[in-house]
Structure 1
């Protein structure tokens, strides 16, 4: 028997596993590396985050990624080269982290790699009804496994698509296992490049759990800053947006997008919400807003789309008009560091927003931890039953790459 297959069998039977989760999001700013320890599986999983680090990408590498990301036409040779390069590069970054943490690769059971999304194409985006939902992440798992010598699981989103989903958001699976509560209804809001949330009813009732994208998180604000303020990756502490005035004509044009009227669950990405989309909205107006005005408007726009989605979901969950669903919101992702955006969301929902530190998971590490958890579920053979609702197939995800 191949020794790695034997190791996989032994890992599936072991009481616990050490797994590294890797996440690189649509912001293209760096790699999140989370060293996790899992005991058990399913709702009985015990999760510990042992180490976490975000490694920023060099500017040259970011530009290479941008040249092939979220575009319908790209250089196919560059895409092919980067698929192999990213796998090996992420492996190098993992080894650097392990050396820094004083841990050997042999002490790690599995690496769980999300890869790098370069195009997300649900039917709602491509509008070609004879074609399926589709998504593409690059950063080959075999290259990562060979570089590190560690069994690697990758390409998690394809099984989700193959079984009827749109390939996103996948956070619902990990959110359900880690953050379900016996007595508190929870909304886990993640504000990355794209904003999404998971609703977790009290009592861990899987048949009532759901997750959906809601629209742009940081992506349009970040893209605008990077274009007009060279050397800046984002509007730190919303200092620019705070100086601007909301342009209501522009805001109304941005909110005309049909995506917002689609039923839940739904997914989207920077393929739709980008600077071209902003330019089309600007062209409908007559004024000449400043950069600060545009950023203020984009911040307001993001807050509105998030809060309206949450309110719409909560309204649908109410049993009748006289019942009000009590829930708490826990935030994660880069958007939680935008004080203006968070204040707007809190004001609109009239809720105090906490972050997942209160649930014992670093909010910056959350997505990397969730992919490590998906790998743990795949290896331990657990099977979560979410019923037969659209967008939430009850599947195990991850393709296995052996080091040799």
Structure 2
């Protein structure tokens, strides 16, 4: 047997595996790198995060990504080249982290790479009845495997689409494995560029589990802060807290049909972007709004759309919400959610033992673990699949 395949077989039979989870979200600020120790599989899985770091991307590379991100028309050569370049960038970051943490590549069983989403096109967004759901992530797994010398599992979203899903959100599977509770209804909320959550009712049933996008997370706020304040994001939500919500503009934004669609649903910056803001400003006759008031309004849009979706999914049942992602640090968002979802408790995913910023990279490590040694997770209403393509280093 090929020794690389033999190593993968051996890893499947070990009591635990050391897996690197990689995640780069739609904000494209950097690469989340989590070295995890994962024991077991399925609902008997436990995970320990040994090391975690978010490594910022160089401005030049980020600018190249932004040139093709969420655009209907792009330079095809540039897209093709960036598929390889992205993998090389990620591979260098991985190798640098391993050296920093004094870990040899032989100690790693595999890399779980989400890649970089470039375009998300569920049918509900593109509206073309003769075409299916689709999504595209770049950062080729073969390049990553060959450059690092580590077997890589990547391109997780394609199997979900092939099996009838929309390719997002995938947190459902990892959340079910890691955070199910016998006696507590849980909402696992992640506020990244786009906001999404998994609702896990207490007990063994999978019938009422809901995993859905809600709408914009940090993406609209980040865009406006870059334009008006030359900052990458609203640190701590300070700008939003200094502003006043324009309710006429907020209501206009909430008229977007996506917000009225049934759960579950997915979306992206293909919808929630500068054009969305400009259209709403024009319709609400609010072009003269002060920048901090505009940022407060889009922050309230995020909080309002999240709260509405959670209330719909939980159907009046009491729950505890555990928050992760960059929005977890935004005081405006957190205060608004606490008001809207009272008397339910809004906590942090770290209460469950996972770094709030590391959660998504950990979840992809879990998916890779299932691909190596697990079985398809049975959740009613979701594709019963194992995800990821396996790329060998030689």
- TM-score normalised by L of structure 1: 0.95
RMSD: 1.0
Deviations 1:363-395 (A, max 9, x none): 1100000000000000003221113x2xx1010
What SS does the aligned partner of 1:8 have?
Answer: helix
1:31-87 superposed Cα distances (whole Å, 9 cap, x missing partner): 000000111100001211111000011111111111100111111111111100111
Task: Give 2:389's aligned residue.
Answer: 399
Q: 2:378 aligns with which of 374, 382, 385?
A: 385
Alpha-carbon offset, residue 206 of structure 1: 2.4
**Residue 286 of structure 1 aligns with which residue?**
285
Partner of 1:150, secondary structure, is: coil
Aligned residue for 1:376? 369
CA–CA distance in 1 between the matches of 2:204 and 2:50? 26
Aligned to 2:21: 21
Q: Within 5 Å, give how 1:158-169 maps onto structure 2.
A: 158-169=158-169
Residues of 2 paired with 1:276 and 1:304: CA distance? Answer: 20
Q: Does the CA contact (< 8 Å) of 1:30 and 1:56 recur in 2?
A: yes
SS in structure 2 of the partner of residue 85 of structure 1: helix
CA contact (8 A) 1:176 1:204 kept: no
Partner of 1:133: 133
CA distance in 1, matches of 2:9, 2:207: 31
Q: Which moved more, 1:238-247 or 1:367-376?
A: 238-247
Counterpart mapping for 1:339-358 below 5 A: 339-350=331-342, 351-358=344-351
Match of 1:145 in 2: 145
4+ aligned runs moved over 4 Å, structure 1: none
User: In 1, distance between residues paired with 2:192 and 2:336?
Assistant: 17
- Cα pair 1:355 1:363 within 8 Å, conserved: yes
Paired position in structure 2 for 1:252: 251
Match of 1:337 among 313, 329, 338: 329
SS of 1:273's equivalent in the other structure is coil
Cα contact 2:118–2:136 (8 A) shared by 1: yes
Residue 220, structure 1, aligned to residue 220, structure 2:
yes
Superposed, 1:5-404 pairs within 5 Å as 5-230=5-230, 232-287=231-286, 288-315=288-315, 324-350=316-342, 351-387=344-380, 389=381, 392-404=382-394
Give yes or no for contact 1:244–1:296 (8 Å, CA) kept in 2: yes
Q: What number of residue pairs does the alignment pair up?
A: 392
Q: Which runs of 5+ in 2 are unaligned?
A: none
2-structure distance, mates of 1:302, 1:47: 31
How does the TM-score come out when normalised to structure 2? 0.98
Once residues 193 and 105 of structure 2 are traced to their aligned partners in structure 1, the CA distance between those partners, rounded to angstroms, is 31
Mapped partners of 1:138, 1:174: distance in 2: 22
Paired with 1:56 and 1:204, the residues of 2 have a C-alpha distance of 40
Gapped regions of structure 1 (runs ≥ 5): 316-323
State the Cα deviation string for residues 131-184 of structure 1 (Å, max 9, x = none).
Answer: 000000000000100111000000000000000000000001000011011111
Q: d(CA) in 1 for partners of 2:374 and 2:320?
A: 32
